[in-house]
Amino acid sequence: AGPRLSRDSAGLRSDLWRETGDPPPVSPCCRRTEAADRAAVLTVGGETVLHPLCLKYPTALQYRRLFLSELIKKHEHTGADPLDVLYNALGDVLNTEENTVCYKSYFLPSGDTVTLSESLAIISEGTTGLVTWEAALTLAEWALQSLDILKHRTILELGSGVGLTGLAICKSCSPKKYLFSDHHPRVLQQVAKNIHLNGYYLDEEHDSQHIGQSVKAAEHGISPENIKISVVDLDWQSVTEKQLSHFQAEVDVVIAADIVYDPGTIIILSKFLNQLLSCIKGGRTLEVYIASTIRNHETYTFFKVTLNGSGLSWQVVPGPKNTLFSQDVNFSVEILKITLQQYRRDGRKFVCA
């Protein structure tokens, strides 16, 4: 590696002024405005890249560099005195080596936060499960406004990815038990790390069964609010009878986000949901909610048709009333509630074998 780049505040100011032009002279009558501008810039910085949470768990390096550069340019154009805190922060960013991962933090209505470590690349290590997708944000928003469905319930999440939806639910909806599930080994490791990162412990019963020694960073103990949390290796295509029986006996709600993207996966998922819903034990009910970003209308229509052909019914659920997280507005997200059809196409009632 080359020598560490050293940049002082004055040097950074000179570089930026060469790009944008010298700042205009400040008139004494503008001092009050300057003080207000200074306070506004410090407030913006303090609520974003200079926030204590962001300093502890930094966002993507490129984002911080671009954001700080733009904030400095806007401030200097007001003619106010330079703010060394911004230049020092930018200097630290320029001296930081690029990484393949970053942190993202989400503020919840309760004032609590969810912090995730995730990949910078959409596809990495052979999976798309190491980043947070749009439907996970929408599903989390819907969950935070659907306490009556989730409170004191046992929840199974399919394709949990890095864990945003599940951790938001654990922190705000008081579930009895939460099962994060996925099938890619690297995703299982990452979601376990994010669970620990947010102050939770994994249930001992599942900890030794489903995750490796490398992710056992926290001591065993009781998770906040006594929520039992597990990470489960779940392959929809080869789900075991033991797993299926366990889910049917304990799970009250199944949720998932952005797992509908490939025709082959859709067929496997529909068959698994039929198995799961067909033989619920003890006269219990099981609710299934799947949120999907509609990127390809043909694929999404195929999902609905396949559900119908697999003995399942669906209905669109109203989305969240309030937007809590910043999202890509170029795509729409739809949430379906999925249930088992009472009667077969030949008119006979479904009977559990």
Q: Is residue 126 part of a domain?
A: yes
Q: What is the mean pLDDT of the chain?
A: 84
| 158/234 same-domain check | yes
Percent of the chain at pLDDT above 70? 80
Q: Is the pLDDT assigned to residue 224 strictly greater than 70?
A: no
What confidence score (pLDDT) does residue 53 get?
94
Q: Is residue 152 located within the same domain as residue 65?
A: no
Distance between alpha carbon 111 and the CA centroid of its chain, in Å? 17
353 found inside a domain: no
Q: DSSP string spanning 87-144?
A: HHHHHHHHTSPP-SEEEEEEE-TTS-EEEEEEESSSSBTTBSTTS--HHHHHHHHHHH
Q: For residue 43, is it within any domain?
A: yes
CB 132 within 8 A of CB 162: yes
- Do 251 and 230 form a contact (C-beta atoms < 8 A)? no
350 lies in a domain?
Answer: no
Torsion sign over Cα 337, 175, 276, 266: positive
Mark which of 34, 59, 94 sits at the end of a domain: 94
| CA neighbor of 219 nearest in space, from 201, 199, 197 | 201
Shared-domain flag, residues 306 and 224: yes
Q: With a cut of 90, say whether residue 277 has pLDDT above it.
A: yes
In a domain, residue 1? The reply is no
For 20, the domain range is 9-94
Residue 220's pLDDT is what?
Answer: 38
Give domain status of residue 247, yes or no.
yes
Same domain assignment for residues 204 and 154: yes
- Report the range of poorest mean pLDDT among 164-173, 214-223, 266-275: 214-223
> Does residue 232 register a pLDDT over 50?
yes
Same domain, 244 and 166: yes
Verify that 41 and 136 share a domain, yes or no: no
Q: What is the pLDDT of residues 314-328, one digit of tens each?
A: 999 999 998 899 887
- Is residue 163 located within the same domain as residue 79? no
User: 55, 71, 94 — which closes off a domain?
Assistant: 94
221 pLDDT higher than 60: no
Q: Are residues 116 and 90 located together in one domain of the fold?
A: no
Give dist(CA 320, CA 140) in Å, integer.
Answer: 9
Long-range contacts of 280-286 (CB under 8 A, 24+ apart): 280/248, 281/245, 281/248, 281/249, 282/249, 284/252, 285/252, 286/248, 286/251, 286/252, 286/253, 286/254
Look at residue 40 in the predicted model and tell me its pLDDT.
85
Position 25 scores a pLDDT of: 55
Q: Is residue 333 within 8 Å of 325, Cβ to Cβ? A: no
Confidence of residue 289 (pLDDT cuts 50, 70, 90): very high
For the residues 222-249, what does the mean pLDDT come to? Answer: 87
Mean pLDDT, range 93-98, rounded to an integer? 92
- Res. 51: pLDDT tops 50: yes
Given pLDDT bands bounded at 50, 70 and 90, which one contains residue 285? confident
Overall number of domains in the chain:
2
- Low-confidence winner among 75-84, 159-168, 284-293 (lowest mean pLDDT): 75-84
Coil, helix or strand for 221?
Answer: coil
Q: Rounded distance, CA 165 to CA 157, Å? A: 9
pLDDT at 27 over 70: no
Contact 130, 118 (CB under 8 A): yes
Q: Mean pLDDT throughout 37-50?
A: 88
**pLDDT score of 29 more than 70:** no
Specify if 328 maps to a domain. Answer: yes
- Same domain? 132 vs 60: no
- Are 167 and 193 contacting, i.e. CB atoms less than 8 angstroms apart? no
Average pLDDT score over residue span 52-77: 93
Specify the pLDDT at position 93. Answer: 93
Instruction: Tell me the average pLDDT across 240-262.
Output: 93
Q: Domain check: are 179 and 252 in the same one?
A: yes
**What value does the mean pLDDT take over residues 188-217?**
69
Does residue 253 have a pLDDT over 80?
yes
Exposure of 71 by Cβ count < 10 A (0-12 exposed, 13-18 middle, 19+ buried)? buried
Give the whole-number percent of the chain exceeding pLDDT 90. 64
State yes or no: pLDDT of 307 exceeds 80: yes
Per-residue pLDDT band for 48 (boundaries 50, 70, 90) equals very high
- Asked whether the predicted pLDDT for residue 217 surpasses 70, the reply is no
Same domain, 26 and 85: yes
Domain boundary among 75, 94, 113: 94
CATH code of the domain in which 199 resides: 3.40.50.150
> Would you say residue 352 lies in a domain?
no
Same domain, yes or no: 74 and 172: no
In Å, how far are 97, 186, 216, 251 from 101, measured between CA atoms?
12, 13, 20, 33
Confirm if 48 and 105 have CB atoms less than 8 A apart. no
